[in-house]
Structure 1
Amino acid sequence: MTGFSQQPHVASYYAATINDTTRHAPLDSTIAVDICVIGGGLTGISTALNLAERGHSVAVLEASKVGWAASGRNGGQLIAGFACGIDAFAQYLPEEDVQRIWAMGQETLDIVRMRVEKHRIDCDLTSGYLTAANKPRDVDELRRARDDAATRFGYDRLRYVERDALEQYVQSSRYLGGLFDPDSGHLHPLNYTLGLARAASAAGARIFEDSCVTALRRENGHHVVQTERGTVHAQFVVLACNTYLNTLAPAVARKIMPVGTYVVATEPLGEARAQALMPAQAAICDTRFVLDYFRPSPDGRVLWGGKVSYSTRAPRDLGEAMRRDMLKTFPQLADVKIDYAWGGLVDITMNRAPHFGRIEPTIYFAQGFSGHGVNTTGLAGKLIAEAIDGQASRFDLFGKIRHRDFPGGATLRTPALVLAMAWYRMKDLL
């Protein structure tokens, strides 16, 4: 697993407001555990916590710092369901199993709330999420989504917001309506990840930072996981590396694509101005394929995300580029400065469905959260723990979803995707 930096968390609003500076020593010896988890982001830490609570001995190997990658840099949006939409599962599963998958999409939110409450994680968890319509066709789609949730799945909490009532959620004339979900929301992702790590350590999991995995092999009936300075012997291995999987499992790595995504934080606006801008204090995203997403911070800032880069190259003068996008929605913020600008990589699958499975019976993986990782990673960790304990029916549902390699191989897949995304950007403008 290569590509990480043994540096502190990237300079960001999240790093500046971190509430836990716990450090974990590198692995510098040979140890034996039941399960070795590779990756100390939300996927790996959630898996370790669930396994430790079930009485297993667990070691987590993190190449940099807990939450160093996407888990500590993302937009902090807590979104029910999955990035692909439920019909992506209906291609492969009978309706009974589609219903189970849909229920698990809601369960992801319950897992986050349970963890925050149980472990007293200070991460600014806030309820409320609005999907804002950019085009008339999006209005129809949002209404259909509301109706489908109610009639097909018995979920009647989604509320369509007409254009003349949008000011209750967002002070902007850009949108034509919106779909409000009171159960989704937003949080401080780095503090949430670090809070889960504290809980995992308290439950008995051993976390090692600055411990990049250099080799994974089978020896005498168990797995040997090698780092530069230490070795772990384990009965099971969990690959929770996402965009940094690389050569550890090339066949699995080909199913995902690293995508750059970016966030800025404005200077504090003042209590009255911040409250007026987003009165419901909900997280918001729009309906374009290459979307904007934004939310308020507890100290009165706007956290604005977007500028997805399928080439993974950050826009020139990132803060100013993001500011120009923000002003399309909030022209009244023309006098506001940007205090923080940062980015990172997330992983997407071809069909945007999460990719869970096994490479062999005792090597599990979970990846491809496609922008829904803040809460879906909690489900992944829970399902992997269930499966290792012999209760694999829920985990195996995800294994029935077909995932294709990104075309073009390591050399051409990024240019091919950039061309495809240019088409979607053009559709957003039509």
Structure 2
Amino acid sequence: MTDPLSHSYYSATAHDWLVDADIEGAYACDVAVIGGGFTGLSAALACAERGFSVILVEAERVGFGASGRNGGQLIPGLRWSASELEAEFGRERADALFDLCWRDNRVKHRIATHGIDCDLKAGHLEAAWTPKDFDAMRREADYLGQRHSYETDVVAKADMDAHIASPLYHGGVYDPQGGHFHPLNYAIGLAKAAEAAGVRILQGKRANWILDGNGGELFLDRSTIEARYVIDATDSWIGEVEPDLGRYTVPIMNYNIATAPLANADALLPTDAAVADSRFVLNYFRLSADKRLIFGGGERYSQTPPRDIAAFVRPFMAEVFPQIANAEIDYGWGGAVAVTMNRLPHIGRRGNVFFAHGFSGHGALITTTAGELIAEALAGTAERFDVLASLPSRPFPGGKWLHRPLATLGLLYYALKDRLG
């Protein structure tokens, strides 16, 4: 399938990987995984490591969705701050979430364990769009240090040029535990590790539906897979497999560009950290291994992409970095981000069917953790899985036909507030 949004820097620089041959007939396994993104791949790998027979089905190709198109930013935590989690859920539950979502970097572990070549770099900077935002960041940094002994570096406005050559920001917080990477090559690295562990990966195979009971059955074009357990890791496409779960998220379209290699790349981002700012419709950017600026900016609530993605994103880049306003842009791409009502992921199980989706643009780290926790629960140890599965979630109002339009109106409201300051 030719995807008009897939002209990405990542696909152009992806590692080679051989796909499995076509299959026909009936197959059986312990675990069937639907979706070849970070969640599905990490779940499949972790299940195989526990001795389960695993078949993973991907409708397109590994990393086709958000896992292979995102900004490559590795941001510890969730969309809620650690202090917000404690205020909402209490100390004990917040501590468990903090240990999973801030301290336990499963991405770094997988990269090191399997020797995945994905341009991993350290450092993430959250940049304050307003003085009020910076005050909130500074308070959160103090809380992290005092409450969790989690050290970050508060950067005053006068010192921001050590990190970013832009006058727009009013300070920020640098987190050395964060970082950035080549997401598609990470996905391919997970796929190779999963195959080496015994997982059979089938690309270009769309699972039509799940029948759940004691187990599940996937119906493909010319074959069926019967499994004791099913893991649905389809994220933005979950409504096509399990329509009622589709009501828990709405898709937001994000767009990225990659410039040609820049002679002044190191001057733009001297510490080579990934950067995301504090606006509701945020800008996020970083340098690639070959010194391109990869920049994401703006979002659309229509599924129709702009005619010229580069032209759509360029003004946002030029606002942050006027010195490269006319830089040559080699790649422009986009994709859907599945967003929940409260911006926390929706994770759970129904009998022997597990699911995880709605990472709300904050999933490059937590998706790998979620996949591995599903494998733990499937193997009989559910304590850590339950920490994430207990996060509150509810469907968007409006039923099957109106939940997306109503959610879009709400998102547009907050985007307008963002523009008006």
Query: Would you say same fold, with TM above 0.5?
Result: yes
Matched, 1:131 2:121: no
Q: 2:302 aligns with which of 311, 320, 328?
A: 311
Q: How does 1:167-246 map to 2 (within 5 A)?
A: 167-218=161-212, 221-246=214-239
**Separation of aligned partners in 2, 1:212 and 1:228:** 7
Which residue number in structure 1 is paired with residue 328 of structure 2? 337
On the 8 A contact 2:337/2:360 being kept in 1, the answer is: yes
**Separation of aligned partners in 1, 2:240 and 2:4:** 24
TM-score normalised over the length of structure 1: 0.94
Q: Which runs of 5+ in 1 are unaligned?
A: none
SS at match of 2:231: strand
- CA shift, 1:248, in A, is 2.3
On the 8 A contact 2:162/2:271 being kept in 1, the answer is: yes
Q: Which moved more, 1:22-31 or 1:49-58?
A: 22-31
Which residue number in structure 2 is paired with residue 79 of structure 1? 75
Which residue number in structure 2 is paired with residue 264 of structure 1? 257
| Cα deviation code 1:115-152 (max 9, x no counterpart) | 11111111000000001111110110110110111122
**Separation of aligned partners in 2, 1:259 and 1:428:** 16
| Cα deviation code 1:311-339 (max 9, x no counterpart) | 33323422112111100010000231111
Distance 1:237 1:8, change over 3 A: farther
**Separation of aligned partners in 2, 1:379 and 1:294:** 24
| Cα deviation code 1:174-221 (max 9, x no counterpart) | 1111100001010000000000000000001110111101132247x4
TM-score normalised over the length of structure 2: 0.96
**Separation of aligned partners in 2, 1:202 and 1:37:** 16
Letter in structure 2 aligned against 1:241: T
On the 8 A contact 2:215/2:230 being kept in 1, the answer is: no
**Separation of aligned partners in 1, 2:4 and 2:191:** 16
**Separation of aligned partners in 2, 1:425 and 1:38:** 33
SS at match of 1:234: strand
Matched, 1:250 2:240: no
On the 8 A contact 1:8/1:65 being kept in 2, the answer is: no
Matched, 1:144 2:139: yes
Q: Which runs of 5+ in 2 are unaligned?
A: none
**Separation of aligned partners in 1, 2:357 and 2:84:** 17
- CA shift, 1:400, in A, is 2.2
**Separation of aligned partners in 2, 1:328 and 1:171:** 12
Which residue number in structure 2 is paired with residue 298 of structure 1? 289
Q: How many residues align?
A: 420
SS at match of 1:231: strand
Q: How does 1:21-420 map to 2 (within 5 A)?
A: 21-86=17-82, 89-90=85-86, 93-108=89-104, 110-155=105-150, 157-218=151-212, 221-270=214-263, 273-359=264-350, 361-420=351-410
C-alpha RMSD of the superposition: 1.7
SS at match of 2:195: helix
SS at match of 1:66: coil
Distance 1:8 1:163, change over 3 A: closer
SS at match of 1:213: coil
On the 8 A contact 1:89/1:401 being kept in 2, the answer is: no
**Separation of aligned partners in 1, 2:208 and 2:285:** 38
SS at match of 1:356: strand
**Separation of aligned partners in 1, 2:339 and 2:170:** 29
On the 8 A contact 1:158/1:180 being kept in 2, the answer is: yes
**Separation of aligned partners in 2, 1:404 and 1:65:** 30
